[in-house]
Amino acid sequence: MEDYTWEDLIEGDDGFYDDSYKEEPIKWESLNKDDFCNTLIALYPHQQDDFSDYNWKELFKKYDNYIEYCSDESKALYDQLPDEITIYRGANKSEKENGYGISWTLNKRVAQWFAYDRWKGQEGNERTVFERTIKKKQIKAIFTEMNEDEVIIIPR
């Protein structure tokens, strides 16, 4: 697939995203800003299963903010947030030393599920819930689609 738009990537005949392009990696550098942002926002919720080959942290660093490309429901949640918020991340304790991931949540229960239930029984995996307070403007994107109230930040 040489010339395509973000709609080509996500709109199959059944209304769900079309994964036929997986044969050839997305040429992110060839997409204009709108197509890049729309593609990133459309595909990121599927990243754990279908698109784990991409360096999402680096992709999200390209532009300052992706909020305008998020769903209307996600934008409404973002608009309701105070200027300073607490976010949570359920992860392996080693992230404290090795660098945090970009996916956090506004919901502590969601973080607890990721920390203690999602990876339950995995050996050598000490889990915890990280908590931090950030400025609203640090949020790069927000997703309500998976019922996780997920926010994307680029940790320092």
Indicate whether 43 and 77 sit together in one domain: no
Indicate whether 72 and 143 sit together in one domain: yes
pLDDT tens digits along 67-98: 999 999 999 999 999 999 999 999 988 888 88
User: What confidence score (pLDDT) does residue 15 get?
Assistant: 47
pTM for the model: 0.81
Rounded Cα–Cα distance for residues 133 and 106 (Å): 10
Indicate whether 31 and 56 sit together in one domain: yes
Indicate whether 87 and 13 sit together in one domain: no
Indicate whether 83 and 133 sit together in one domain: yes
Where does the pLDDT of residue 113 fall: very low under 50, low under 70, confident under 90, or very high at 90 and above? Answer: very high
Does the structure show a pLDDT above 80 at 53? no
Indicate whether 56 and 89 sit together in one domain: no
Indicate whether 110 and 80 sit together in one domain: yes
Does the structure show a pLDDT above 50 at 2? no
Does the structure show a pLDDT above 70 at 48? no
Q: Structural domain of residue 113, as residue ranges?
A: 68-152
Whether 1 is in a domain gets the answer no
Indicate whether 96 and 58 sit together in one domain: no
In the chain, helix, strand, coil percent, each to 5?
40, 15, 45
User: What confidence score (pLDDT) does residue 19 get?
Assistant: 56
**Which distant-in-sequence residues (6+ apart) come within 8 Å of 9 by Cβ?**
17, 18, 21, 26, 39, 42, 43
User: What confidence score (pLDDT) does residue 142 get?
Assistant: 97
138 compared with 12, residue with greater pLDDT: 138
